[in-house]
Structure 1
């Protein structure tokens, strides 16, 4: 049950973190209007709230977000920046995802 509840939260948090960061990136690096940065900042603040919806400890939650965000960042870049990950990007992302699944979902006493 923990997996079913946590995965949508990880995905929502990833969309907020990557989407908000991407808007700030566009504002600062690609000369988009300031409102890109302001909306990005609001979305990033919302990401901080979404993260608290997880039930595990701060350390496990944020470690797991790291691996999930690696995968989501590659997917985001493929969609919005026409990025084509190479085999090492994919292998690295899968290793990170496996690692964070162990951190977050391993049975503990």
Structure 2
């Protein structure tokens, strides 16, 4: 169950961050309407990936996903845009991921 949840979080991150990046490229880098359309479709896919989480509480899933989004955005920047995070970026992302683990995977009665 945890492995499925983590995989869905990773898929959601790629879809959301990738979709936002495609729209950014379409508008700010003047790559055109097809890039924007692809971004919109990718953002829609993000919603589905989040909806398939095994956790039943929307608020918990989206709160935890926020931490995945932070770490994923920094990773996207490194891989795609050549961004170099500093130690504070990395510490912040690590704290966010600890928050994800507490919110999603802490034992509950």
> Do these two structures clear the TM 0.5 threshold for a shared fold by scoring above it?
yes
Please name the residue that 2:20 is paired with.
21
- Can you list the C-alpha shifts for 1:43-97, whole angstroms capped at 9, x where unaligned? 1011111111102110111011110111111111001111000000000000011
In the superposition, the TM-score normalised over structure 2's length comes to 0.95
Give me the whole-angstrom Cα distance separating, in 2, the residues matched to 1:37 and 1:18.
13
Residue 41 (structure 1) shift: 0.1
Q: Which runs of 4+ in 1 moved over 3 A?
A: none
- Give the RMSD, CA atoms, in angstroms: 0.8
Please name the residue that 1:93 is paired with.
93
Aligned: 1:8 with 2:7: yes
| Secondary structure of the structure 2 residue equivalent to 1:75 | helix
Query: Alignment length, in residue pairs?
Result: 108
- 1:1-109 mapped onto 2 (5 Å cutoff): 2-56=1-55, 57-109=57-109
In the superposition, the TM-score normalised over structure 1's length comes to 0.95
Provide structure 2 residue ranges, at least 5 long, that are not aligned to the other structure: none
Give me the whole-angstrom Cα distance separating, in 2, the residues matched to 1:67 and 1:12.
14
Give me the whole-angstrom Cα distance separating, in 1, the residues matched to 2:31 and 2:89.
29
